Amino acid sequence: MWRAFQARGGQANLKTLARLGEKRRSYARLFGVESYADFTLRRRMALNVGNVQAFLGEVKGELGEREERDLSELRAAKAAELKTAPDTTPLKRWDVGYYLERVKRERLALDQESFRRYFPPQASVDFVFALAGRLFGVGFEPVPQSLWHPDAKAYVVVDAAGRTPLATLYLDLYPRADKYGHAAVWPLRGSSTWSGQLPTAALVTNFDRQGLTIDELETLLHEFGHALHVTLSHTRYAAQAGTAVKLDFVEAPSQMLEEWVYDAQVLALFQQVCASCEPVPADLLARAVQSRSFAKGLQFARQHLYASYDLALHDKDAPDPMALWARMESATPLGYEPGSLFPAGFSHVAGGYGAGYYAYLWSLAIAQDLRTAFAADPLDPAVGRRYRETVLANGGQAPPAELVARFLGRAPSNAAFFEWLER
C-alpha cells in the first residue's frame, strides 16, 4: 500500500515535471535570470536563493539531534512489538506513520473526539469573535441576508470604539453535498481607501454540528487569521489589500493565531460567551499541547527535505527530478526506498509553490517571532491594537520585513522559532 501511494502520478507525471522545470528555466532566462528560483525569490520576502539556503541550513542544524531521537523512539517501539533488539531492528519508511500513531496514543491517550463537548460550533465562532474584540478592538454584528445557503451567515465587522463599519465577513461552517471540502478564506473584495471600498471575505469550513475537536478549533482560528488580514486591511489600493502579500509571509498571521488555542487564559473566553460551556480540563489541554510537540524532529525534517528539493529542482541546471530526489532522500537517516516516486505526486511545485515550498517554514518562523510580542499577556489589547494597525492594516503595501520590524521594534529573528522547535 505504501509503495502504491508513493508511486502515484507515475512516470507520466515525472516527464511532465521535467518539462515544467525546463519551461520555468527558459522563462526566467527571458528576463536575464539564470534560474527560476532566483527569478521567483526576487519578489518574495526572502529576496534570494542564498537567504533561503542559509535559513534552511539553520533549520537543519536545529533538527538533527531531534530527528535522531524521534527515530530511535520509533525503532524501540517496533523492537518491543517484535521482541527484538532495537539496535538490530530496521525501521523502514512505511513503519513511521504506524509507530508514530501507536507511540503517541500510548503516551498521551488523547482522543480528539473528547473535545467536541467543550467547543460547540456557535460558541467557537463567538469565541474567536470575542478574541478579536479583546485584541483588535473590533466587533461582529450579524446581518440578516438571503445568501447561497441557509447555513451561511453574514456579519458586519465594526470598529468597537465608534461602531464604524470596516468590512463584511461571511461564514459557511457545515458540510453539504457539492460544497468545497476543506477550510479556506476567500478575499471577495479588497480594501481601498482611495475609492472608499470596504473589504469582504468568506470563511468556509466543514465542521461537525456536534462540536469541534481542538485540531478543528486550531483550523478555525487559522482561517480566521486570514479573514482578519482581509477585513482589517486599510490599504490605498485593493490590489495590495489583505492577504495580497508575499507568498512567504501570507501564512504568518494565521500561524501565529493558532498558538492561542492552547492557552488556558485565552480558552477561558469560552465561558464568557457560552454560559453552558464547560472549561477544558487542565490535564486534557496539557496532553493536547504535548501532542503538538510530539515527533517535531521527524515532521520538520521532512518539511526541510521538501523545501530543499523544491529549491534544487528550480536551480539553474536542469536536474532530472527523480534522480535528484533519490540522491537527496538517500542522505536522510532512513534513506531512499527504491521504486518510490515521490516527485510524481509533489503537487505543490505545480500548484503555486514552485521554488516556494520553503515558505511554510519561513512564515512559521515569522509567526513565532510575532508571537513574542504577546508573551507577557496573550490578550493584551494595546499589543493587539498595535499589531492590527502595523501588520494587518497594511496588507501588501509595505515590505513584510519592514512591518514585522516596526511591530516588534527590532529586526526579525528566527530565535523564537528555534526555541519552539525544541519544545
Task: Give yes or no: residues 150 and 263 share one domain.
Answer: yes
Task: For the chain, give percent helix, strand, coil, nearest 5.
Answer: 55, 10, 35
- Three-class SS of residue 54? helix
Between strands 200-204 and 165-172, the pairing is parallel
Q: Which of 66, 65, 64, 62 is nearest to 293 (CA)?
A: 66
Query: Does 100 fall in a domain?
Result: yes
Structural domain of 208 = 116-281
Task: Give the domain-ending residue among 360, 384, 416.
Answer: 360
Contacts of 91 (CB under 8 A, 6+ apart): 71, 74, 75, 78, 99, 334
Please report whether residue 287 resides in a domain.
Answer: no
Same domain, 120 and 267: yes
**DSSP annotation of 176:** -
Query: What pLDDT does 317 receive?
Result: 86
With contact defined as beta carbons under 8 Å apart, do 33 and 39 qualify?
yes
Q: Is the residue at 177 inside a domain?
A: yes
Specify the number of domains making up the chain: 2
Does residue 20 sit within a domain? yes
In terms of domains, do 167 and 274 share one? Answer: yes
pLDDT of residue 263: 97
Give the relative orientation of helices 93-108 and 282-293 as an angle to the nearest 10 degrees: 160
Residue (of 244, 231, 139) closest to 191 by Cα position: 231
Same domain for 339 and 313: yes
* Nine-digit cell string for 419: 526555541
Closest by Cα among 237, 241, 210, 238 to 226: 241
| Contact predicate 146/242, CB 8 Å | no
Same domain, 148 and 276: yes
Is residue 121 a contact partner of residue 173, using CB atoms and an 8 Å limit?
yes
State which of 316, 332, 360 marks the end of a domain: 360
Residue 164 lies in a domain: yes
24, 57: one domain: yes
214 part of a folded domain: yes
d(CA 285, CA 379): 19
Which run of H or of E encompasses 121?
A: helix 121-136
Residue ranges of alpha helices (H) inside 109-250 are 121-136, 214-231
Residue 39: predicted pLDDT: 97
What is the reported pLDDT for 304?
98
391 falls within a domain:
no
State the catalytic residues. Answer: 223
Question: Is residue 230 located within the same domain as residue 162?
Answer: yes
Residues comprising the chain, all counted: 423
Q: Do the domain assignments include residue 395?
A: no
CATH number at residue 205: 3.40.390.10
Please give the grid coordinates belonging to residue 182. 476543506
Same domain, 227 and 335: no
CATH for 91: 1.10.1370.10
pLDDT of residue 318: 78
β-strands 184-189, 153-159 pairing: unpaired
The closest alpha carbon to 71, from 420, 334, 423, belongs to 334
Strands (E) in 178-336, as ranges, are 184-189, 200-204
CB atoms within 10 A of CB 93: 16
Same domain membership, residue 140 and residue 263: yes
> Given 237, 259, 281, which residue is the final one in a domain?
281
Domain shared by 15 and 153, yes or no:
no
Residues 146, 262 within the same domain: yes
Residues 63 and 144 in one domain: no
Report the distance separating Cα 51 and Cα 41, nearest Å. Answer: 10
pLDDT in tens, the chain (423 residues): 888 898 899 999 999 999 999 999 999 999 999 999 999 999 999 999 999 999 999 999 999 899 999 999 999 999 999 999 999 999 999 999 999 999 999 999 999 999 999 999 999 999 999 999 999 999 999 999 999 999 999 999 999 988 899 999 999 999 999 999 999 999 999 999 999 999 999 999 999 999 999 999 999 999 999 999 999 999 999 999 999 999 999 999 999 999 999 999 999 999 999 999 999 999 999 999 999 999 999 999 999 999 999 999 999 987 899 999 999 999 999 999 999 999 999 999 999 999 999 999 999 999 999 999 999 999 999 999 999 999 999 999 999 999 999 999 999 999 999 999 988
Q: Looking at residue 305, what is its pLDDT?
A: 98
What's the pLDDT at 342? 95
